[in-house]
Structure 1
Amino acid sequence: MMIYLISVILASIFIIPFAIKTLSPYLWLDILYLKDLLRILVTFVSRRRRRPFFFVLDRFLEQTAAHPDKSFIVFENEHFSYTYTDRRSNQTANALLAQPGYKAGDTVALFMGNEPAFMFTWLALAKLGSPVALLNHNIRTKSLLHCFNCCKATVLIAASELKAAVEDVLPTLTEQGVTVLLMTKHCDSPGIESFSDKVDEASDSPLPRSLRSHITFKSPAVYIYTSGTTGLPKAAVVNQNRLLTALAVLASNGVTSSDVIYLNLPLYHTAGFIIGFIGSIETGSTIILKRKFSASQFWDDCRKHSVTVVQYIGEVMRYLCSKPKRENDKDHKVKLAIGNGIRAEVWKEFLNRFGNIEVREFYASTEGNVGFVNYVGKIGAIGRVNFFHQKLFPFTLIKYDTERDEPIRDDNGLCVEAPKGETGLLVSKITDIAPFVGYAQNEEQTERKKLRNVLKKGDLYFNSGDLMRIDNDNFIYFQDRVGDTFRWKGENVATNEVSDILTISDGLKEANVYGVQVPGHEGRIGMAAVTMKEGAQFDGSRIFNHVVSYLPSYARPRFIRIQNAVEVTGTFKQMKVKLVEESFDPGCIQDPLYILDNEEKSYIPLTAQVYSSIISGNIKL
């Protein structure tokens, strides 16, 4: 009998783990993920209970006290310690307090590229209790003014290289009484004050906490701009509570103070600012800051600085894989790549070429109230659905009519849930734990993102605008974006904004803008079906100069199709589905087609030969 019992116990020891692995192969990873989730929640709740209030700035001050001499930022061979960063931000704050047009708590717009001064200034404004609008440094004129005004900023701080862009809108800013500061030691433009010299001369003494005593968890911390379907960018409000939550984004993926983070994504973006910058404040890591992404310098930088963690968007990975192979491709210390938007085939190629790097694909949006993390490493998935995540952040996929651009509803007026394996629109319930704050000065767009009567009468959900699919193993996959926004070069492009810009040019009457897929490229590239004003002829050079003047490179339509009339629905909405399907193939389209040519500085005719070269990959877009 004893031998029998021993045999059963021994068999169980070996069989049960095998059975679990066979029947539920991801159970252990699910448990580990749950443990991390609970740890994050406990940390977050304990910080929420601290008095006085504990914010991201306080975590930075803790890290400065813990390792004052450690490098926080490395930029172009210059090292800036935590202590230096703290003192420089004090100088910036004290210099700003001396400006007659500013008082502590005022909203400030930051118009800068990736440089240490961006981080110093943001920390300074946090010490002063000022919300910060992070302006995309690629925007100009109308878009720049719109973004500045919709957050009610009273001060604009700009990088010296953006002086010309500021001067373009200076008359309007002056009329509004805006204080304009340029990060330079000398400025002779009336209406623009030099600021770097004043920072150099200012005291580095700490700022009293009383300057930010008015801040609560609901107070706006930053405004991050996201393209929408109405044309001009929307300012998503990221409040102090959300930013405090965001501290955990790197730590929850195993990043520690010993790690070195390579930050080459724009700091005005959610990815660069929240994951790279704010995430590193929590972990106490060192940031290797780059002005912009460079595929040719990427791995050399990683080797030079012993980088262990890199960020990506889908295009970054593809660019890296498209560079010529080198013998030292696997000679680096990178152990983790975190980001979103990587295709399955690029994911596989990246691992095969650059070695055993853990890829943590995730899904989130600046203003959204739900996110997923692919903690299992399943190639192609954006995350994994589990019971506990569903309970904390209730979400579902609902059937969506892409032709009518609206959810499908049953006879009771409720949405219809999409079964496993089928594509549906991701919607997430708006709760106290998962709130939706919305957009600054844009109640209409805030309301548009809310979806009512989803699963029962009176409920309220956030409409992500993204189509997803969940497989039988509970992995979730991104399928596409709905509505008028498409993604190119890691940027969201609002078709109505591009359409508005096109139609203010000479000669064009109407413009229907949409994104088309190109083999070998992530996302969709811009294309416009346009009509000409009566008697006008298409002038490729003029249109080229116009879009270059008004639009950042990623938003410029690469293809233009000349039509006699823009097709609309019965409710006068522009029809895009057929246009998207026809794409830019001159063999299928009778209308004249043009392609943007940067060398010719014009839109030139799109021939069958050029089309063939694009499809074959000989011409890169």
Structure 2
Amino acid sequence: MYLFHEWLSALIVGVLSLRVLQKLFFPYFWQDVFFLWKIITYGVKLELYKLTSGVVTVVDMFVAQAQRIPDKPFVIYEGATHTYRDVDRRSNQVANVFLERGSPRRGDCVVLLMNNEPDFVCVWFGLAKLGCAVAFLNTNIKARSLLHCFNSCGAKTLVVGADLVACLEDILPSLREDNIDVWVMKRQSGADDTLQVHSLLDEMESASDQPVPASLRAATSLKAPIMYIFTSGTTGLPKAAVITHLQALKASAGFWAFGGRGDDVVYIPLPLYHSAASMIGIGGTLQLGATCILKKKFSASNFWSDCRKYDVTIFQYIGELCRYLCNQPQAEGEKLHKVRMGVGNGLRPDVWRDFLARFGGVRMCELYGSTEGNLCFMNHIGKIGVVGRSNFFYKLLFKYDLVQYDMERDEPVTDQHTGFCQRVKKGETGLLLSKVSASSPFFGYAGSKQLTERRLLRNVFVPGDAYFNTGDLMAENKEDFICFKDRVGDTFRWKGENVATTEVTEHLGLVPFIQEANVYGVEIPGHEGRAGMAAVIVRPDHQFDGKELFEHVVRDLPAYARPVFIRIQEFIEITGTFKQQKFQLVQSGFNPSTISEPLYVVDYPQKSYVPFTEEVYQNILAGEKKL
């Protein structure tokens, strides 16, 4: 008996010692193991599908869910419930309309220009059932960019929401010249006859809601393109990121990987033309067999009342969304809700802490990944201020590196002898590169091999290798947590959107009194991302006209891309390779007391750019002036 007690005591001490050692040296061991196990099993599942029953796509999953849980609410929009059966049948009607017309056909691309509504999903799935690729257009883009989008993805059909038809009036002649069929989600009227567009709603009334042949949507490869999502980049005009079945399936597993369940109710206030709302939000909802609350637009004042009304358990966010919620007046019962998880990206540490303190123990699941990228990080631990976590096993699956980057020269640092990039040390900030391989392919952009090649760096560490350039500066600390630091190059984020400085520069160049413009982003305390600022040279014999400039940017640029500040310069510095020098301008910020050159700030009430005074500057810092 004595020996038994000695043995038992030694066992208990040993177990406790192991637990102490684990907490000291491997504090996240079991969380890492469980998360990696989920990722690996999902990958194996995709491979088994190919071996047993062919390629299973997101639309195949939707059809399966519609058969399994037909009466379960899938999309709830403005109080109206649309079950899985409802969406399945309505998408069948869309498919049958085009099938009877004979166009578009399997393999064709169709452009979708719609705001958030259930028919966005029905048209998307209906076209996918025909084997068509669907291109989602940002509803903020203007005429010139819209025409460019058609050319880049080769589409000959456009489906437009009823509330966006007026946006097309100026370019309809150009669309007709290019033989592009325009379908609108509204009833036919006399006004529509003059526009020469088709009513999809009228056609759907008489269309069958029975399934079209499954062979039309059958995929032979997970790497076949199924969607195009337009994203702003360093080239100025929108780029059509190629989305394959593989990428769509991976994105749809996001909620599940973070612990989502079939009984969850997902709140989607983000625009469906973004990959976050469509691929992760809608795709993730049907992956779980859950229900989503789809909002036309985000409303900070209605957010929590919606969550209580619909018993929301998961919501999607971008960093700005959470800041807006924290800036709302405090009210009683703010912690009385069923929200247990938020999934998104761009959440600043200070906002993260404020959000949790004010609204309760919501698990914030931060993730990182670009629409077109071949790498994703997920913060499965929930540590504040990081976008993901890596470890030895993760790096075996996903090859990435952080390399030294020269911000002033706007390029990676290379060894003067070998010409190869230099990795940063642990804890240092570097440019994130993701290796392109058979297991982590980069599918690039439609319509331009040149645009695709620009996102690649070759001969990075050894001759012949290729890496996807994320354009993001990151740091990986000693605990293997990964933190986002900043964007590099010609793109910055503002109001949750990527702003392409070259596109804004091109538009400013059309203003009669502007000779040259240099656009960049500046940090503003208390705001996510960077506010747009343009250093401009006024043409000789001209004067700066704030009202004319205001009218121009409001007419031609979406709200997030309009410069907040204007800085008047006599000349614009350039680099040795004739690139505009932005580094010093970014560093000097927007403080009028430290900048000797004239500054202006946008003023929406006055509909003009007005002189930027010290008083206005202090109001911005105090949060009293909205930007």
Q: Could you say whether these structures have the same fold, taking a TM-score greater than 0.5 normalized by the shorter chain as the test?
A: yes
- 1:504 Cα deviation after fit: 1.2
**Equivalent runs, 1:225-304 vs 2, <5 Å:** 225-304=230-309
**Equivalent runs, 1:390-401 vs 2, <5 Å:** 390-401=395-406
1:587 aligns with 2:593: yes
Question: C-alpha distance in 2, partners of 1:428/1:497?
Answer: 26
Question: C-alpha distance in 2, partners of 1:117/1:594?
Answer: 43
Backbone CA RMSD of aligned residues: 1.3
Alignment equivalent of 2:104, drawn from 81, 102, 111 = 102
Q: Deviations over 1:342-375 (max 9, x none)?
A: 0111111111110011111111111111111111
Question: C-alpha distance in 1, partners of 2:218/2:332?
Answer: 56
Point out the more displaced range, 136-145 or 35-44: 35-44
Q: Deviations over 1:505-536 (max 9, x none)?
A: 22211110000011100000101011122212
SS at 1:188's partner residue?
Answer: helix
Alignment equivalent of 1:16, drawn from 12, 18, 36 = 18
The change in CA–CA distance for 1:516 and 1:344 in structure 2 (over 3 A counts) is same
Aligned to 2:615: 609
The change in CA–CA distance for 1:177 and 1:214 in structure 2 (over 3 A counts) is farther
Aligned to 1:494: 500
Q: Tell me which amino acid in the other structure corresponds to 1:248.
A: A
- 1:230 Cα deviation after fit: 1.4
1:354 aligns with 2:359: yes
Aligned to 1:543: 549
1:559 aligns with 2:561: no
**Equivalent runs, 1:207-606 vs 2, <5 Å:** 207-213=212-218, 216-410=221-415, 411-606=417-612
- 1:457 Cα deviation after fit: 2.0
The change in CA–CA distance for 1:213 and 1:353 in structure 2 (over 3 A counts) is closer
5+ unaligned residues in a row in structure 2: which ranges?
A: none
Q: Tell me which amino acid in the other structure corresponds to 2:186.
A: T
- Assess if the C-alpha contact under 8 Å between 1:429 and 1:460 holds in 2: yes
Question: C-alpha distance in 1, partners of 2:195/2:241?
Answer: 32
SS at 2:12's partner residue?
Answer: helix
Aligned to 1:111: 113
- Return the TM-score normalized by structure 1: 0.98
- 1:320 Cα deviation after fit: 0.5
- 1:104 Cα deviation after fit: 3.4
Q: Tell me which amino acid in the other structure corresponds to 1:115.
A: E
Alignment equivalent of 1:145, drawn from 144, 147, 158 = 147
Question: C-alpha distance in 2, partners of 1:233/1:61?
Answer: 32
Q: Percent identity?
A: 49
- Assess if the C-alpha contact under 8 Å between 2:409 and 2:575 holds in 1: no
SS at 2:507's partner residue?
Answer: helix
- 1:7 Cα deviation after fit: 2.1
- 1:619 Cα deviation after fit: 1.2
Alignment: residue pair count: 621
Question: C-alpha distance in 2, partners of 1:221/1:215?
Answer: 12
Aligned to 1:37: 39
Aligned to 1:53: 55
SS at 1:49's partner residue?
Answer: helix
- 1:15 Cα deviation after fit: 2.4
- Return the TM-score normalized by structure 2: 0.97
Question: C-alpha distance in 2, partners of 1:244/1:32?
Answer: 20
SS at 2:272's partner residue?
Answer: coil
5+ unaligned residues in a row in structure 1: which ranges?
A: none
- Assess if the C-alpha contact under 8 Å between 1:428 and 1:461 holds in 2: yes
SS at 2:171's partner residue?
Answer: helix
The change in CA–CA distance for 1:19 and 1:155 in structure 2 (over 3 A counts) is same
Alignment equivalent of 1:188, drawn from 193, 197, 202 = 193
- 1:450 Cα deviation after fit: 1.0
SS at 1:278's partner residue?
Answer: helix
SS at 1:295's partner residue?
Answer: coil
- Assess if the C-alpha contact under 8 Å between 1:234 and 1:442 holds in 2: no
Question: C-alpha distance in 2, partners of 1:528/1:257?
Answer: 48
Aligned to 1:175: 177
Question: C-alpha distance in 1, partners of 2:570/2:273?
Answer: 40
Aligned to 1:80: 82
- 1:215 Cα deviation after fit: 5.4
Q: Tell me which amino acid in the other structure corresponds to 1:245.
A: K
Question: C-alpha distance in 1, partners of 2:539/2:144?
Answer: 23
- Assess if the C-alpha contact under 8 Å between 2:516 and 2:538 holds in 1: yes
The change in CA–CA distance for 1:214 and 1:21 in structure 2 (over 3 A counts) is closer
1:203 aligns with 2:208: yes
- 1:101 Cα deviation after fit: 5.0
Question: C-alpha distance in 1, partners of 2:194/2:28?
Answer: 62
Structure 1 stretches of at least 4 aligned residues deviating more than 6 Å after TM superposition: none
- 1:198 Cα deviation after fit: 1.1
Q: Tell me which amino acid in the other structure corresponds to 1:581.
A: Q
Q: Deviations over 1:444-496 (max 9, x none)?
A: 12111111122222211111111110111111100111101000011000000
Q: Tell me which amino acid in the other structure corresponds to 1:547.
A: V
Question: C-alpha distance in 2, partners of 1:546/1:215?
Answer: 48
SS at 1:504's partner residue?
Answer: coil
- Assess if the C-alpha contact under 8 Å between 1:236 and 1:367 holds in 2: yes
SS at 2:566's partner residue?
Answer: strand
Q: Deviations over 1:53-87 (max 9, x none)?
A: 31111100111111100000000010000001000
SS at 1:619's partner residue?
Answer: coil
- Assess if the C-alpha contact under 8 Å between 1:97 and 1:104 holds in 2: no
Question: C-alpha distance in 1, partners of 2:46/2:339?
Answer: 29
Q: Tell me which amino acid in the other structure corresponds to 2:460.
A: V
Point out the more displaced range, 64-73 or 569-578: 569-578
Q: Deviations over 1:208-234 (max 9, x none)?
A: 123234753232111111111111111
- Assess if the C-alpha contact under 8 Å between 1:105 and 1:130 holds in 2: yes
